[in-house]
Amino acid sequence: MSEAVRVRRKLAFRNAIQVAGMLPILVLLGIMFQLLSGWVEAGNLSGAWAEGRFMSWQNLSIVMQQASINTVLAAGMTVVILTGGIDLSVGSILAASAMVAVIASKLEGLGLLGIPAAMLCGLLFGAINGALIAFMKLPPFIVTLGSLTAVRGIARLIGGDTTVFNPSLPFAFIGNGTLAGLPWLVVIAIAVILVTWFILRRTVLGVHIYAVGGNPDASRLSGIKVWAVILFAYALAGLYAGLGGVMSAARLFAANGLQLGQSYELDAIAAVILGGTSFVGGIGSIWGTLIGALIIAVLGNGLILVGVSDIWQYIIKGLVIIGAVALDRYRIQGSARA
Amino acid sequence: MAPILEMLGISKTFGANRALCDVSLTVIPGEIHALMGENGAGKSTLMKILSGAYQADPGGQIRIGGEPVVINGPLAARRLGVSVIYQELTLAPNLSVGENIFLGTEPRRGGMIDRAAITNACTPLLQRLGVSFTPATLVSTLSMAERQMVEIARALNAQSRILVMDEPTTSLSSRETERLFDLIRRLRADGLAIIYISHRMAEIYDLADRVSVLRDGSAVGTIPRAELSAETLVRLMVGRDLATFYKKDHAAALARGPVILSVRDVGDGQRVLGCGLDLHAGEVLGIAGLVGAGRTEFARLVYGADRGSGTVTLDGRALHIATPRDAIDAGVVYLTEDRKRLGLFLDMSVRENINLGVIGRDAKGGALLDFAAAARRARDAIAALGIRVSADMINVGALSGGNQQKVLLARLLETKPRVLILDEPTRGVDIGAKSEIYRLIDSLARADVGVIVISSDLPEIVGICDRVLVMREGRMAGEIGGDGQPVTQENIIAIATGADESAGQQAA
C-alpha cells in the first residue's frame, strides 16, 4: 500500500468519525429508552427489551415528527453558524410566518397561497437580519436579539394579538398526512436537509460559506463577496423558519403570535452544537445537525415514555447537551493524539 | 566536559510520516548550541520530545547528566531540569509576574497561596536578570521582551539545567535582542546548557558555540564555532550551494517588454501619498523601504483591499478596482504578507485552498462545483510548485510555513494573472522553499507576467529584482536599476533612510 493511499484512507476514516459524530450517543439513547420503557412496563429487566415501547415503528414515527420542525430550523442555523454568526430570531420568525400562513389560508379558493406567503414572510425577515449584519456590520448576536423581540411583536400585531384558527386548512395534509407511509413533516425535514447538504457540499456558494466562517478577512482578499454569503445565510435561515411556520400551522390548524415558537431558537442552536459544528464558524456538517435534532427529540419523547416529570425533563435535557458535547471534545482530542 | 544532555538515535513517526530518523544530539553544560534547519526539518519535533510533549519511537535513548531518563510529560521534563521557551509565550497575562513564575508550583501556607514567599523568591531572581519590573507587576502590562524575561525567570526558578529557546527574537527590537543576548551569555557563564533555535544567520554567528543542522528529519552535522560560515550552513541545510540560491535567468532589465501595469497617484491621504509606478511585461520590480514606509498599504490600495484615490491601467485599459474581486477579474493578484491571518483557510484542505479563486470559473452552470477539475488543478499545482504534502485533502494548517506559502501562491497562479504583487513572499519560509519561490518568480517573469516584490529582505530584493522602487514615508522616494545602474543594498538603504536625497530620481 502506497503512502498516499494510506494517508487518504486515514483521512477518510477520520472524516467518517467526524460525520458519525454523535450517532453513537443517539443509538445509545434509543437502546436505553427501549430498556427503561420496557422495565417500567414489565417491572423486571429480563423482559424489558421485548416490552419496550420506544422502538416501535409508531413511536419512532412520532419522534421523527417531533424532530421535524426543529430539524428545519437547525438546518438554517447550521448555515448561519458556519459563517461564524448566530440567529436568535428563528422562533419569532416562525411565529410570524405561521400567522401569515393561517390568515392567508382563509382566502377563498386561494388558501394554498398560505404556504408561499409564509415562506416569503420568513425570507423577508431573514433578509433584513442579513442586510443589517452584512452591510451595517452589526454583530449578529445583537441584530438577531433585536429581531427576536421585534418580530415577536409583529407576530402578535398580525393577528391582533389573538389566536387565529382555520379548521379547514387547505394544507393540513402537511401536518397530519403521509406520503408513501412517511409523515409529510418528516418528508419536508429530510428534503430540507438534502437541499442544505447540496448547497454546502456541491456548490461554489457552499465553499464560500465555509471560507467566510473560517477566515472572513482572507475571504474578502481572495475575492469572495462576503456580504452576499452572509445575506444568503440569514435569508436561508429566515426562509426555513417560514417553512417551519407552515409546518407548525398545519399541525395545529391555528397560530398564536405570542406562544408559538417560544425558545425554538435555543433547541435549534442545541441541535447544531450537538452536531459538532464549531461555534466560531467554518467547521461542521449538516448530517451532524440532523443527528443533534434527533437526539433532542429522542430525549423529549423517551423521558415522557419512561414517565419522568416535566421539571426533570428540562434538567436532564440540559445535562445531556452539556455532557454530549464534553464527550465529543474528549473524543476529538483522543483521535488527534492517536 | 561531560555532556549534560545526550539524545541518542531518536526517531519519531506520525502515521505514515517520518519526522525524525535516528537523530543524535549532544549538549555540554556552559554552551550555546544552535539548532538549525528548514521548517519541517524536525527541530520542533526533536525539542517536543525533549520537553515531553511527544514520545520518541522505541529504540532511542535520552540521557541527562549521564543517566538514562524517561520524559513522559512536561512535568517530568521540568523535574529533570529541562525548560522550553516557545515562540508563542505561555504566560497568563491576567496574573502577576510572581504568580506566573510559580504557576503550577505555588508555595502554599495552610491551603492559601503564600504571596510573601513568592515575592521573596522572585526578587533576587529578577535582580539577576536585570529587569525593571517587580514580582507584583501584571504580565499584561509588560512588553514582549519583558514577558520573555518572565519565562526565563520561570525556567531559572525551576532550577533548569537545559534551556531551549525557540526563535526568541522574532518579536523583539534590535536593542531588546542585544539585551537578551547578554543575558543568554551570562546564563552560559553560569553553566546552563542552552539550545537555541533560529533561522537568522547573524544571531547564530553572534551566539553559538556549536551548530547542529537537521535536514528532512536527519542530523546532517554539527559544526564548531571555528568552522562556521554561511556557505557551510546553507550547504548543510539545503544540500546545495549558495551561488545558485537567488535565481535570475529571465531577460535583463534593459531588454524588458512593454509596460503592462501603470499606477498613477494612488493614495489614501495618510500612509500612502500619491504613489505610482510602471511595470513591464516580464519584469521583476522590487519595492523596498523601511517598515512603515507604506509599501503594504500601497499594494492593498492598488488591489482594491482598501479604499483610496488614483488610477490603475492594465494593458492600456483603465481599470475600475473597488474590491479585490475586481482586481482578480482584471488579472491583478496580491499575495498578503500575513498568510495565516489574511491568506489561508487553515481548516480547509490543500485542494480547497488551491482552488478557491477559480471554483467559480470552473463551476458547471455557474454554481455547481467541478470536483474533477479541482482535483486536477490541485494535483498539477502540487507537482509544479513542489508542495510537500502526502494527500491534497490534508488541512493547510498542518503544513510547514514554506508549503503553506506555496499553496497560497498556487491559489493566485490558478487565476492566470497578468500581474502578481507579492508582499514579503518568503517571510517565515524555510531556506529550501525560499529558493523554490525565487525560481517560480523567475519563471513567471520569463512567461511575460509582471511581478512586483515587496520585501524587507535586502539581499532578496537585490538578488531577484531587475529594478527597485524605494518608498519613504508614504512616497516613492527613488528608483534604482532602471537605467542600468546596479542595484545594491547600499543605494537602497541610502534612499530608504533619506541619507542621500539626490541619489534617486523621482519615480512616476
Q: Write the pLDDT tens digit of every residue in B433-470.
A: 888 999 999 999 989 999 999 998 888 888 899 899 99
Cβ-defined contact of B369 to A11 (cutoff 8 Å): no
Question: At which of B213, B241, B269 does a domain end?
Answer: B241
Least reliable range by pLDDT among A17-26, A117-126, B84-93, B150-159: A17-26
B352 and B406 housed in the same domain:
yes
Closest alpha carbon within chain A to B18:
A3
pLDDT category of residue A334 using cuts at 50, 70 and 90? very low
Q: Which of A56-65, A226-235, B90-99 has the highest mean pLDDT?
A: A226-235
Confidence of residue A15 (pLDDT cuts 50, 70, 90): low
Rounded Cα distance, B147 and B131, in Å: 11
For residues A111 and A171, the answer to whether their CB atoms sit within 8 Å is: yes
Closest listed residue to residue B191, CA positions, set B32, B39, B298: B32
Residue B40 in this model has a pLDDT that exceeds 70: no
Question: Do B226 and B365 belong to one domain?
Answer: no
Ranges of beta strands (E only) in A117-251 are 163-165, 178-179, 182-183
CA distance A132 to chain B (A): 20
Q: Measured in whole angstroms, how far is the alpha carbon of residue A47 from the centre of its chain?
A: 36
Alpha-carbon gap, residue A138 to B481, rounded angstroms: 49
**B95 and B170 both lie in a single domain:** yes
- pLDDT surpasses 50 at B507: no
Q: What percent of chain B has pLDDT over 90?
A: 48
A264: nearest Cα among A247, A244, A281 = A244
Chain B residues in contact with A219 by the CB 8 A cut-off are: 345
What is the pLDDT at residue B241? 56
Q: Are residues B170 and B151 in the same domain?
A: yes
Nearest to B479 by CA among B277, B304, B249, B319: B277
Min Cα–Cα distance to chain A from B252, Å: 32
Return the pLDDT at B204. 86
Whole-number Å distance between alpha carbons of B12 and B400: 17
Residue A60 has pLDDT above 80, yes or no: yes
DSSP helix/strand/coil, B453:
strand
Average pLDDT over residues B323-336: 95
Q: Is residue B338 part of a domain?
A: no
Spatial CA neighbour of B464 closest among B204, B238, B249: B249
Residue pair B412/B333 in contact (Cβ under 8 Å)? The answer is yes
Average pLDDT of span B294-319: 94
Rounded Cα distance between A323 and A331, Å, is 12
| Structural domain includes residue B277 | yes
Residues of B with CB under 8 A from a CB of A: 15-16, 303, 305, 323-325, 327-329, 334, 336, 341-348, 352, 356-357, 359-360, 363, 367-369, 390-391, 393-394, 411
B98's grid cell:
510572581
Q: Are residues B211 and B358 in the same domain?
A: no
- At A169, the amino acid letter reads L
Q: What's the DSSP call for residue B342? A: I
User: What residues in A contact B54, CB-CB < 8 Å?
Assistant: none
pLDDT band at A331; cut points 50, 70, 90 = low
The CATH number assigned to the domain holding B272 equals 3.40.50.300
CB-based burial, B227-265: b 16+ in 10 Å, e otherwise: ebeeeebbbbbbeeebeebbbeebeebeebeebbbbbee
| Residue B305 included in any domain | yes
Q: In what order do the strands lie in the sheet with B17-27?
A: B17-27, B5-14, B61-64, B67-69
Is the residue at B119 inside a domain?
yes
Report whether B314 contacts B419 (CB < 8 A).
yes
Same domain, B228 and B107: yes
Instruction: Tell me: do B403 and B474 sit in the same domain.
Output: no
Written as one string, the DSSP assignment of A239-278 is HHHHHHHHHHHHHHTEEETTTTTTTHHHHHHHHHHHTT--
Residue A156 half-sphere exposure, CB side, CA atoms within 13 Å?
A: 9
Residue B336 counted as domain residue: no
Name the band, by pLDDT with cuts 50, 70 and 90, for residue B502: very low
In this prediction, residues B474-502 reach a mean pLDDT of 78
Domain shared by B134 and B108, yes or no: yes
Nearest by CB to residue A6, choosing from B16, B305, B359, is B16
| φ, ψ of residue A250 in degrees (nearest 5) | -65, -30
Answer yes or no: do B83 and B151 share one domain.
Answer: yes
Number of H helices, E strands in chain A: 15, 4
Could you tell me the pLDDT band of residue B322, with boundaries at 50, 70 and 90? very high
**Residues B288, B170 share a domain:** no
Sign of the dihedral through C-alpha B139, B142, B144, B147: negative
* B322 within a domain of the structure (yes/no): yes
Domain end call among B196, B225, B241: B241
Which residue of B301, B336, B390, B395 to mutate against A (max A Cβ within 10 Å)?
A: B390
Range A267-290 average pLDDT: 91
Whole-number Cα distances in Å, A207 to A17, A204, A270: 21, 5, 24
C-alpha cell read off for A319: 445535562
CB atoms within 10 A of CB B216: 17
The pLDDT, as a whole number, for residue B412 is 96
DSSP at B141? G
Q: How many CB atoms lie within 10 A of CB A267?
A: 24
User: Where a domain ends, among B416, B431, B454?
Assistant: B416
Domain count, chain B: 3
Give the domain range for residue B349.
Answer: 344-416
In chain B, what percentage of residues exceed pLDDT 70? 94
Residues B327 and B465 in one domain: yes
- Do B370 and B457 fall into the same domain? no
